[in-house]
Structure 1
Amino acid sequence: RTTPNVNKYRTANGVCNNRKNPLLGAANTPLARWLPSIYEDGISQPVGWNPGRLYNGVILPLVRLVSNRIVSTKDADIQADDELTHLVTFFGQWNDHDLSFTPSSPSIRSFSSGINCDASCERSEPCFPIRIPLGDPRLPSGRDSCLPMFRSAPTCGSGNSAFMFGGVPNVRQQINSLTAFLDVGQLYGSDEGFARELRDLSNDNGFLLVNDRFQDNGRDLLPFTKVASNMCSTRNHILNTTGLPEVPCFTAGDVRVDENIALTSLHTVFLREHNRLARALRLLNPHWSSETLYQEARKIMGAYHQIIVIRDYLQHIVGPEAMKRKLGTYPGYDSSIDPSIANVFATAAYRFAHVTIQPLVFRMDENFQDHPQFPSVPLYEAFFTPWRVVFEGGIDPLIRGLISRPAKLNQQNHMLVDALRERLFAFTSQIAMDLGSLNMQRSRDHALPGYNAWRRFCNLTAPQNKAELAAVLKNTNLAQRLINLYGHPANIDAWLGGVAEPFVPGGRVGPLFSCLIATQFQKIRQGDRYRDDDRFTCPGLGLYFLSQLYKVESYGIQAFS
């Protein structure tokens, strides 16, 4: 079926961005493989599925053990980043949610035995539990002690030897349910039907839906979801009270909108900006239809996003050298480039910002001091709490906190705060999760090659022993601890190796992640037929928006510098 205006406006699901190959970069297509997978059976079994399997002559360590010995830090030991604000951290999450989401298996029970993955430590597809090591400081260790994890869903027909192409097994591949483009899909949705549900079709203004029950000091809030769920019913758990009203989860183009209130605040800013743009466009063009107003506002929003990410964000992450090599002068659209999100980017490299998250979500008053009525919130009490936005001062205190308080500085001996390692989703899961362990177990689920393979991919040296690893990390003690766990540098999980590296000059990641992140965005930019920022000829609107989001100079701190 022909999609209307397919050459003038993006489709919500990214289909037809590439005219020659309409599915390149589209939603619900496989993640790209930049290196071959290393499934233990060559088809589907994740790394670590068979406990006795040797890698470079040794058994891989339990990811929770690695998290305990390498990743953990205490709040008292955290150092603030003296250059970047907390906005960098949560803008990174906002941006990530525009590019990739890998759905888990739709089943919560083993396909073969019927066991509940949430209630068993048995490895049985799709259950891939995270085993607890002996002497774990928080969790009881033993034969039946684990953190539950579900495997990512495979693309249709993959990971099954019964599906053969010319006698070659169809190796398991994971799905990206979002488009690969910088199209603000986290606001608008990556599915045509859902994108329509998020629009206000009761008038001809081209608006997105807003909340019909509550406002934020006269300003709009995100609408509530119509899907029945207890995920956001955390108020009574956290406040230890009864009888107070719960509110539903908010809804937006990405399902993770409620993961924390800082992210929710950014969703709200962009929602308001779309409607502000549509309102302004209607004044300029009263003859435009609701569809045209919506699409033109959406196009400008896409331009904002591309400018902010490429010009104002990435250079401070990957450093000026990688920007110059990979993201310098735009050479133009190239239909031969596949913009699809790489498995290693989604599963490892773009999770670098986890180690920049503070243990608090800061809330500031009009003078950028600690808010007297609504103090800063412990991060673990900010997960899935839309009621804090509704009943505790709206988004202004949160935005002020993001632009005036520092990010956490990633240090080799202080990586992941306890709120993420010991109390992740404490009020919405049966047991609090560990983000470090999840990152490494997910990499193994996706059969990502280890640290050295990705170093070679980026034309970097591949350390072969403790001395060479110590030279790469510029840290002999850390190299020794990693060798004690992994036996060989090649075995180190890609996410851990990446966040353990010293920063490149002018960046906030090491050489490996600088290469992988810059390479991915190079492909996204050159493989996108709709380069909205290159055709964006209304800089006044862009400057207006940037001044609202990044108005921090008068407080002595700049958001991205």
Structure 2
Amino acid sequence: MALSKHGSPVRGMENVAQSSVRDQRFGRMFRNLPSAAYTEDALTDLAKTMFQGEFADKIEANKPVDVALNEREPEDENPTIPAGFTYFGQFLDHDITFDPASSLDRFNDPNALQDFRTPRLDLDSVYGSGPADQPFLYEPDELHLLVGDDKDFDQGRKKRPDLPRNTAKIRRALLGDKRNDENVIVSQLHTTFLRFHNKVVDTLGTRDFELCQQTVRWHYQWIVLHDFLPRIVGKDTYKRVIVGRGEKPVIRFYNPQGRYAFIPVEFSVAAYRYGHSMVRPSYSLNRIVVAPDPVQQPFNGKQATFHRIPIFSLMNVADHPRANLNGFRELPGFWAIDWSFFFEGITPDGPAPAGAVLPQPSYKIDTLLVDPLTSLPDHQQEPIKIRRALAALNLLRGWRLGLPSGQAVARHMEMEALSDEELFDSEDADVRAARGHVLRQHPGIFQDNAPLWFYILREAEIAADSRHLGPVGGTIVAEVIAGLIREDRHSFLAQWPKWRPTLPGREAGHFTMADMINFTNR
């Protein structure tokens, strides 16, 4: 063991990451393609056409801005992907990428950006750097992960903890990645992984921390490859890239430089941001916590009425802790999530409200984001109003990082590129008119030159009826995720490709998010 000059062990040396994926940098997937050129005005004008804009009309008509838990929204909802996978995708993103350094106000070289997460699916956002280096994440036995206070909604029948938190006035979460507390849903998902690890420790009955950790990681990697990806990329792309259970993926375009993996910006800044369009404006959490308190909340200077709890709002949670799902604060009492509201196949925690449509579906993968994402809580100090909107931030970041156009990527992948007419058309007459206006206001800017993120969302609309990603977006997502697992020499794909999950599930040799949650809740 390495020693410091004072003779004590160098902090963290006993927990050096055991992986061949050490580069921890961003890079380019399509290095020979030129960067697409735009103007900031053109991108922000396009961003203004990428929101549903329904709240204003509903407020004007004195109607609730969302639907009740027993109502369906066939025009907006994606019945093939339960809402929980929106936030599982966010949790996965936080496991592999973090870029606090790039800027919207200057051009950035992706090859010079540091990824502050390890580019592998190793749950470092959960484990941190291990019990010896970050003991505040662990119980004193250095085997179990620390969990927070119980927030049970079912009269104390089960333990449903919050994240572990400090004792400050605003109780901050003790996490390997603070972003997993940025909304209530992802924070509860993180807590579920803490509990999953603890359940594995108890089930295996061993003091071998690394064995327990490997068991958790391999089952997590399996869920990503064989439960999450088929839903997101579609069955055809799954069969072509992932191939199937017990087979090594077929990867054509994601080629790590040298022997080290990296995160392509085409993935992190474009293709993997598909999930922003899947976000619902509001959610119910369990049979007790269905609606927000207060029901009416300010939106663009007017009062909006919600049936479910808005994913974001500008209501001050210090005064109204049950107003929204904003994060970075202690979970209110009774707000523990009943995961049958978010995933199929979950053993429910009791009778659901009469007529409830469960699990709540995600929204469609398309070029329209919900209205709460026009004004992000953590961007309220931004003087340029459009830069508070998620669509504008995504388009500007892609431009500043020099992404190629969607058409250039499609042709490079030997796929037929969508035409301008297809890309800037819309089934909604108002959206079609607004985008036509953008093209006239910025002549030539978007001609055969669609921003990659916009292209991938529109491709999903056209090629997959908004139910999953199309061939370009799906291939990028599938290849990068499978490639990161393959390149990690401690993953199950690298060590034992024909490995099968060993924990109990509904199907022998298979393991899903529902299986993980049911196993954890036993």
Corresponding residue number in structure 2 for 1:421: 374
Deviations 1:521-557 (A, max 9, x none): 2322332222337475662345598445566xxxxxx
- Deviation string 1:158-203 (CA, Å, 9 cap, x unpaired) is x6xxxxxxxxxxx8632211122121222123x5699634542622
| 1:74 CA drift (Å) | 2.1
Following superposition of structure 1 onto structure 2, how do residues 80-119 of structure 1 map, counting pairs within 5 Å? 80-104=77-101
Partner SS, residue 101 of structure 1: coil
Is structure 2 residue 435 aligned with structure 1 residue 494?
A: no
Is 2:144 the counterpart of 1:207?
Answer: yes
SS at match of 1:407: strand
Equivalence for 1:344: 266
Instruction: Please state how far the C-alpha of 1:254 moved relative to its aligned partner.
Output: 1.8
Q: Would you say 1:252 and 2:166 are equivalent positions?
A: no
Equivalent residues of 2:425, 2:432 under 8 A apart: no
One of 388, 401, 407 as aligned partner of 1:452: 407
TM-score for the superposition, normalised by structure 1: 0.65
Q: Report the equivalent of 2:284.
A: 362
Query: Is 2:472 the counterpart of 1:512?
Result: yes
Farther-moved stretch of structure 1 (403-412 vs 191-200)? 191-200
Shift of 1:419: 0.6
Give the letter aligned to residue 230 of structure 2: Q
Out of 31, 34, 50, the position equivalent to 1:35 is 31
Describe the superposition over 1:113-160 as per-residue Cα deviations: whole angstroms up to 9, x where unpaired: xxxxxxxxxxxxx671xxxxxxxxxxxxxxxxxxxxxx69x7xxxx6x
Q: 1:385 aligns with which of 327, 341, 347?
A: 327
Q: Residues of 1 paired with 2:144 and 2:191: CA distance?
A: 14
Task: Indicate conservation of the 8 Å contact 1:319/1:504, yes or no.
Answer: no
Can you list the C-alpha shifts for 1:341-368, whole angstroms capped at 9, x where unaligned? 21110111100010010000322217xx
What is the distance in 2 between the residues matched to 1:351 and 1:548? Answer: 26
**Aligned equivalents of 1:72, 1:372: Cα separation in 2:** 22
Encode CA deviations 1:471-521: one digit per residue, 9 max, x unaligned: 999999487466434623433211111112225459512222112112212
Contact 1:13 1:26 (8 Å CA) reproduced = no
Q: For the structure 1 residues 33 and 101, does the alpha-carbon distance in structure 2 shift closer, same or farther, using more than 3 Å as the test?
A: same
Q: How does 1:40-79 map to 2 (within 5 A)?
A: 55=37, 59=39, 61-75=41-55, 79=76
Kept after mapping to 1: 8 A contact 2:180/2:190: yes
Structure 1 residue 250 displacement after superposition = 1.4
2:225, 2:482 within 8 Å by CA — same for their partners in 1?
Answer: no
Letter in 1 for 2:290: D
Runs of 5+ in structure 2 lacking a partner?
Answer: 4-13, 56-64, 66-72, 295-306, 314-323, 344-358
Aligned to 2:336: 395
Residue in 2 aligned with 1:312? Answer: 227
2:476 aligned counterpart, secondary structure: helix
Preserved CA contact (<8 Å) 1:33 1:343: yes
Q: CA deviation at 1:265?
A: 0.9
Q: Is the 8 A contact 2:290 2:309 kept in 1?
A: no
* Aligned residues of 2:196 and 2:516 also touching (Cα < 8 A): no
The 1:472–1:311 alpha-carbon spacing in structure 2 relative to 1, beyond 3 Å, is farther
In structure 2, relative to structure 1, the CA distance for the partners of 1:80 and 1:102 (3 Å cut) is same
Call closer, same or farther: CA 1:256–1:299 in 2, change over 3 Å.
same
Question: Do 1:326 and 1:519's aligned partners in 2 also have CA atoms closer than 8 Å?
Answer: yes
Q: Which residue of 1 aligns with 2:184?
A: 261
1:179 corresponds in structure 2 to: 118
> Which residue, out of 466, 482, 485, partners 1:522?
482
CA distance in 2, matches of 1:35, 1:473: 35
Aligned length: 428
Q: CA deviation at 1:29?
A: 2.7
TM-score, reference length from structure 2: 0.70
Q: Residue 32 and residue 26 in structure 1: after superposition, are their counterparts in 2 closer, same or farther (change >3 A)?
A: farther
Structure-1 residue corresponding to 2:212: 297
Going from structure 1 to structure 2, the CA distance change for 1:253 and 1:429 (only over 3 Å counts) comes to: farther
Q: 2:19 matched to 1:17?
A: yes
Distance 2:484 2:83 in 1: 25
Q: 1:202 to 1:550 in 2, by over 3 A?
A: closer
Asked whether the equivalents of residues 262 and 361 of structure 1 are also in contact (C-alpha less than 8 Å), the reply is no
Note if contact 1:300-1:532 (Cα within 8 Å) is conserved in structure 2: no
| Deviation, structure 1 residue 33 | 4.2
**Structure 1 residues 469 and 538 mapped into 2: Cα distance closer, same or farther (>3 Å)?**
closer
Q: Is the 8 A contact 2:240 2:250 kept in 1?
A: no
Structure 1: runs of 5+ lacking an equivalent = 4-10, 19-24, 40-46, 48-54, 106-125, 129-150, 160-170, 229-245, 552-561
Q: CA deviation at 1:209?
A: 2.2
Where 2:80 maps in the other structure, the secondary structure is strand
Q: Is the 8 A contact 2:27 2:262 kept in 1?
A: yes
In the other structure, the counterpart of 1:331 is 248
Percent of residue pairs bearing the same amino acid type: 20
- After TM superposition, give the deviation of residue 73 of structure 1 in Å: 3.5
Match of 1:275 in 2: 198
Q: CA RMSD in A?
A: 4.1
Q: Quick one: structure 1 residues 87 and 29, their matched pair in 2 at CA, closer, same or farther if it must change by over 3 Å? A: same
Query: 1:2-38, CA deviations, whole angstroms, 9 ceiling, x for partnerless residues?
Result: 89xxxxxxx9775x523xxxxxx33643434432575
Q: Where does residue 391 of structure 2 map in the other structure?
A: 436
Residues in 2 aligned to 1:225 and 1:422: alpha-carbon distance in whole angstroms: 29
8 A Cα contact 1:98 1:178, kept in partner = yes
SS in 2 for 1:223: coil
User: Does structure 1 conserve the Cα–Cα contact (< 8 Å) formed by 2:147 and 2:191?
Assistant: no
